[in-house]
Structure 1
Amino acid sequence: MDYSSFALFSDLDGTLFNSQTMVSEENKEAICKFEEGGGLFAVSTGRTQYKVKSILPDIVINAPSILYNGSGIYDFRKDSYIKTFTLDKKNIDKMLSWIIKDMPEVNIQVYTEYENLFISSLDTMNHDFISNHKPCKISNLDIAWEEDWLKVLFQGQKEGLEIILDAFLSSNFSNQVDFVFSSDEFLEILPKGINKGSALNLIKELPQFNNRIICAIGDFNNDIELLSNAHISFAPSNALDEIKKIAKFITRSNNEHAIEDVINNFLPKIKL
């Protein structure tokens, strides 16, 4: 089939990945078919460029993609950034110091363009979290503060993360930065006005997307703006209910090859 009129942006966890954080052979084959037919395939994720390359070695990402939940737009073919956005860090160090001291069970990582810095106490490090967010450099708040940050990631129990969010909001940080839950155990701080949707709108203006139908698929809160700003939106059946309400189409679940479903069953039926 001719897919040259389409560009597809896919979330990773809960969407392209199955429950074992793997890409099915069915999804891989469908993406290959999509690209051979002229389609542009991109990812939209909170992860870094290094992590994406390490977990998707068999997939060609042939279009500019969204990293850091919108703080980075990256060209994997050129292995370089197109655009990045940094946090206004004013007074955030005081909040992070409080969390490190009084909520040591919460793990904190700060992300720069080229590094992922772990700044929490090593005594309470969640090793599974670190393993899943490599490459990660052990650092501290004072050293990390000297860098420009694209985002901050908190990992912990939902109840603790909600306490942190309430503390930031009650201190009026919502006028300075944005907050989003990217899973039940991840809370992120992003630059004000930056999200997957804002990044998608910038990508739409690139020449290679002229006259393309922009399709997007995602399953969680950090995908709301992505789906809202796509021409055609999809959600896998395992997505949150609020995400499925936004999406134009509901696909099979992430454990039933959602991306293959989009490429083979939905896109061919769309009237151009």
Structure 2
Amino acid sequence: MDRLSDYLIFCDMDNTLLTAKEGIPSCNRTVIKLFTSMGGRFTVASGRPPESIRAALGDLSLSLPAISCNGSLLYDFQSNRVLRHASLDQNQASIAIREILQKFPRIGVEVMAGAGEMYVIHANPYTHAHQVDEHLSGISCPLESVPDGWLKVVFAGDPETVRKVGQYAKGRYYGRSNYFLPTNQIYLEIMPTGVGKASGMEQLCTLLGARMEKTIVIGDYYNDLEMMKKAGYAVAVANAPSEVRAAANEVTSCGCSEGAVGEFLYRFIDRVTGI
């Protein structure tokens, strides 16, 4: 007979677990606490760095290490240490940043390095909102002053500009060590090749000796798709785009702000325990 502790649940944060303006719905907090108190294993898989994840969770404790910075960091909040760190090719990323800024001078540019510290290379209203909404303390500095150990680059702007930046990047060659990843309508990121939420999930399963068929992913956006496809079971929240909903085994009846994660977890507790 299955137990809740047999499963590892990986939950995206923004527009899945929470909204930047409203935070985590109270029903999500209540059901997650119930789930973990019954032995369930729950964590987040997010583009956010550890500092931002900690601020957003508040009194909500994770029972597993978190996938942070879209998979570039595995971070254990219980021991406050980095378990895995994947770095960009800084030379290739620097060339891309300089060319894109020259072509799109209003685009915002951030670099996350080290243990998720954020360095603002070129500020705009979207980088400011990013810092405010995700409780990030950014450091303004020129590109050449960013410390080594880059985790990812974030381009931030209005949806149309970000779309054009993505199209421009597709037509350029910046080497094979990095790749471009759209993570939101207003964000486009550069990530290390082979690194993503899915690779973070696989790494964590290896560390824990867990089976992939016992993983469950809850997501809402295109950067969740690879992780959803590799998981044993995939859940999309109702507000996800149609392609993401089509890739899921199950779609919640309500959206993020109505408590989609709590809705699924409550049904899952009943499904496994019969309580």
- Residues of 1 paired with 2:242 and 2:12: CA distance? 16
Matches within 5 A, 1:19-168: 20-114=21-115, 115-121=117-123, 126-133=127-134, 134-144=136-146, 146-168=147-169
Q: Is the 8 A contact 2:126 2:157 kept in 1?
A: no
Q: Give the C-alpha shift of residue 234 in structure 1.
A: 0.3
Q: Distance in 1 between matches of 2:5 and 2:120?
A: 42
Normalising to structure 2: TM-score of the pair? Answer: 0.90
Query: Residue 265 of structure 1 corresponds to which residue in structure 2?
Result: 267
What stretches of structure 1 of length at least 5 have no aligned partner? Answer: none
RMSD of aligned residue pairs (Cα, Å): 2.4
Shift of 1:102: 4.2
Q: Secondary structure at the match of 2:266?
A: helix
What one-letter code is carried by the residue in structure 2 that aligns with 1:225?
A: E
Alignment of 1:191-210 (within 5 A): 191-207=192-208, 209=210
Contact 1:110/1:119 (8 A) holds in 2? yes
Match of 1:105, SS?
Answer: coil
3-state SS of 1:173 partner: coil
Q: CA deviation at 1:174?
A: 6.3
Q: In 2 relative to 1, CA 98–160 (structure 1 residues): closer, same or farther, beyond 3 Å?
A: same
Match runs of 1:173-252 below 5 Å: 173=174, 175-207=176-208, 209=210, 213-251=214-252, 252=254
Instruction: Tell which deviates more after alignment, 109-118 or 258-267.
Output: 258-267
The count of aligned residue pairs is 270
Instruction: Kindly indicate whether the alpha-carbon contact (under 8 Å) linking 1:100 and 1:121 is maintained by their aligned counterparts in 2.
Output: no
Unaligned runs of 5+ in 2: none
Equivalent residue letter for 2:80: D
What is the CA distance between 1:94 and its match in structure 2?
2.8
**In 2, are the aligned partners of 1:198 and 1:225 still within 8 Å (CA)?**
no
- What is the CA deviation profile of residues 2-52 of structure 1, one whole-angstrom value per residue up to 9, with x for unaligned ones? 522222111111111147341111111111111111111100000010011
Distance 1:53 1:19 in 2: 14
SS where residue 228 of structure 1 aligns? helix
> What SS does structure 1 have at the residue aligned with 2:150?
coil
Match of 1:256 in 2: 258
Q: Distance in 2 between matches of 1:91 and 1:82?
A: 25
Residues 121/268 of structure 1: CA separation in 2 closer, same or farther (3 Å cut): closer
Residue 240 of structure 1: how far off its partner (Å) = 1.0
Q: CA deviation at 1:121?
A: 5.0
What code does the residue aligned with 1:159 have? E
Comparing 86-95 with 111-120, greater Cα deviation is found at 86-95
Distance 1:237 1:266 in 2: 17
Q: Secondary structure at the match of 1:204?
A: helix
Amino acid at match of 1:75: D
Q: 1:253 to 1:104 in 2, by over 3 A?
A: same
Q: Percent identity?
A: 25
- 1:51/1:135 contact within 8 Å kept: no
TM-score normalised per structure 1: 0.91
**How far did residue 169 of structure 1 move?**
2.6
In 2 relative to 1, CA 119–43 (structure 1 residues): closer, same or farther, beyond 3 Å?
same
- Rounded to whole Å, the distance in 2 between the matches of 1:99 and 1:40 is 41
Whole-Å Cα distance in 2 between the matches of residues 54 and 95 of structure 1?
A: 31
Q: Are the structure 2 counterparts of residues 47 and 218 from structure 1 closer, same or farther at C-alpha, using a change threshold of 3 Å?
A: same
User: 1:253 Cα shift?
Assistant: 1.4
